[in-house]
């Protein structure tokens, strides 16, 4: 029996995935989570074989940006778990980040159910499950040029936040924020921070 935890902040999607998986004779859903913190807690308690993990989830109190950022903490809580990241956004940068952070699989949510079931079973065997088109795109784009702090500050600039607001949200001085934003803009070859954020988001770097 393959023991599964499903982590997704959207209740309808999470329960639908859990119900679909639970219908299989060889699969048992042992837990669900709606935030990054809940995912770590539930996985630590249940020690699942496979975790189906969403990318865009609220942190729930953990100092992380998204589901991918949670992977190291989750795997520390449940070292034997195999993580399959399932996301609405099939961004090559997400794929690279997920695999570098310890995931064994990466799928988009509009994939056929049979493909998800196959991915779960293959992951349980320790096999890697990755969409081949995304894998090729990830290789062509390459790794993120942004440092961790540059990505953090750039992400915090979403919605046109002021330098002061960004500095408060990431606990850095305004001068440091300006330096990181300037560096990020230069590294991605953008004209301004809005364009840099758009490019970084499309590539899954933030």
Specify whether 176 is located in the same domain as 198: yes
- For the chain, the domain total comes to 2
97 in Cβ contact with 144 (< 8 Å): yes
Which pLDDT belongs to residue 32? Answer: 97
In tens, the pLDDT along 40-87 reads 999 999 999 999 999 989 888 887 778 888 999 999 999 999 999 988
Asked if pLDDT for residue 140 goes beyond 60, the answer is no
Specify whether 183 is located in the same domain as 132: no
Specify whether 76 is located in the same domain as 154: no
Asked if pLDDT for residue 176 goes beyond 60, the answer is yes
- Dig out the tokens for 59 from the structure: 């942190």
Q: What is the mean pLDDT of residues 181-189?
A: 91
CATH classification of the domain holding 11? 3.40.50.2300
Specify whether 51 is located in the same domain as 92: yes
Which pLDDT belongs to residue 137? Answer: 57
Q: How confident is the model at residue 203 (pLDDT cuts 50, 70, 90)?
A: confident
Specify whether 120 is located in the same domain as 185: no
Question: Model-level pTM greater than 0.75?
Answer: no
In tens, the pLDDT along 21-44 reads 999 999 999 999 999 999 999 999
Domain housing 129? 2-140
Specify whether 114 is located in the same domain as 158: no
Last residue of a domain, one of 140, 161, 184: 140
Last residue of a domain, one of 89, 122, 140: 140
Last residue of a domain, one of 124, 140, 156: 140
In percent, the amount of the chain with pLDDT more than 70 equals 93
* Residue that is written with structure tokens 């770097």 in the block: 205
> Residues 188, 189, 190, 193: is their CA dihedral positive or negative?
positive
Non-local (6+) Cβ contacts of 123 within 8 A are 50, 82, 83, 84, 104, 105, 129
Q: How confident is the model at residue 163 (pLDDT cuts 50, 70, 90)?
A: very high
């Amino acid at each position: 029996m393959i023991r599964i935890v499903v982590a997704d902040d959207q209740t309808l999607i999470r329960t639908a995935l859990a119900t679909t998986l639970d219908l299989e004779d060889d699969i048992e859903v042992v837990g669900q989570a709606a935030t990054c913190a809940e995912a770590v807690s539930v996985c630590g308690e249940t020690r699942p074989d496979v975790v189906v993990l969403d990318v865009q989830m609220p942190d729930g109190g953990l100092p992380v940006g998204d589901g991918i950022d949670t992977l190291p903490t989750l795997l520390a809580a449940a070292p034997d778990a195999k993580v399959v990241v399932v996301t609405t956004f099939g961004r090559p940068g997400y794929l690279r980040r997920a695999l570098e952070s310890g995931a064994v699989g990466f799928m988009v949510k509009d994939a056929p159910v049979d493909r998800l079931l196959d991915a779960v079973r293959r992951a349980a065997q320790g096999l890697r499950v990755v969409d081949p088109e995304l894998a090729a795109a990830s290789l062509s784009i390459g790794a993120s040029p942004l440092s961790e702090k540059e990505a953090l500050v750039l992400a915090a600039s979403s919605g046109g936040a002021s330098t002061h607001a960004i500095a408060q949200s990431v606990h850095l001085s305004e001068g440091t924020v300006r330096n990181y934003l300037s560096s990020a803009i230069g590294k991605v070859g953008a004209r301004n921070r809005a364009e840099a954020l758009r490019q970084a988001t499309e590539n899954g770097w933030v």
